[in-house]
Amino acid sequence: MEGRIGFIVFVCLMGLTCANPVKFIDCGSSSGKVTMVDIDPCTTQPCQLHKGQSYSVNVTFSSGVESKTSTAVVHGIIAGVPIPFAIPVGDGCKSGIQCPIQKQQAYHYETTLPVKSEYPAIKLVVEWELRDDENKDLFCIRFPVQIV
């Protein structure tokens, strides 16, 4: 295990693309189940997000429902207060998911998270939801980040 982690760190230090599973909590994925959250590049926990950089986000989940649509809703929770966060593409069906979504099928939700240079350098919790036709969460995840 340690050898494997050492190898991953080594590969990451070489500047090669490496996705890292991010520790997350589930905040009520009533229409699905999340198996993995990857942010790239992210070599620390919590992820350090550098101003002016873009990050790729890859959420692997399985759906428990059928849905024609999927809509991403992102909030930054700062001191307990959720603040809406605009992402470039809000449509999950244009973010690596082939719609309509089928029941009991696994999907990768893939999108980018741009970190604007005007964001404050703070720690916050990102809450990322993907909602189905009925506005229920295909997934709802929370993970801490640090903007630097």
Ligand X SMILES: *[C@@H]1O[C@H](CO)[C@@H](O)[C@H](O)[C@H]1NC(C)=O
- Sequence-ordered list of residues with C-beta below 8 angstroms from that of 87, at least 6 positions apart, any chain: 72, 74, 111, 112, 113
Number of residues located near ligand X, criterion CB under 6 A: 6
In the bound complex, what is the minimum distance in angstroms from residue 37's beta carbon to ligand X?
10
Using CB under 6 A, which residues numbered 86 to 125 contact ligand X?
A: 108, 110
Query: Which helix H or strand E contains 10, and what residues bound it?
Result: helix 2-13
Q: What span, in angstroms and rounded, lies between the C-alpha atoms of 125 and 112?
A: 17
Using CB under 6 A, which residues numbered 55 to 84 contact ligand X?
A: 58, 60
In the bound complex, what is the minimum distance in angstroms from residue 83's beta carbon to ligand X?
27
In the bound complex, what is the minimum distance in angstroms from residue 81's beta carbon to ligand X?
31
What are the two backbone dihedrals, phi and then psi, of residue 56, each rounded to the nearest 5 degrees? Answer: -95, 140
- Sequence-ordered list of residues with C-beta below 8 angstroms from that of 97, at least 6 positions apart, any chain: 70, 107, 108, 109
Nearest residue (beta carbon) to ligand X: 58
β partners of residue 18: none
Using CB under 6 A, which residues numbered 2 to 41 contact ligand X?
A: 19, 38
Q: Which is nearer to ligand X, 25 or 106 (CB)?
A: 106
Q: Which is nearer to ligand X, 110 or 133 (CB)?
A: 110
Summarize as ranges the residues that interact with ligand X (CB under 6 A): 19, 38, 58, 60, 108, 110
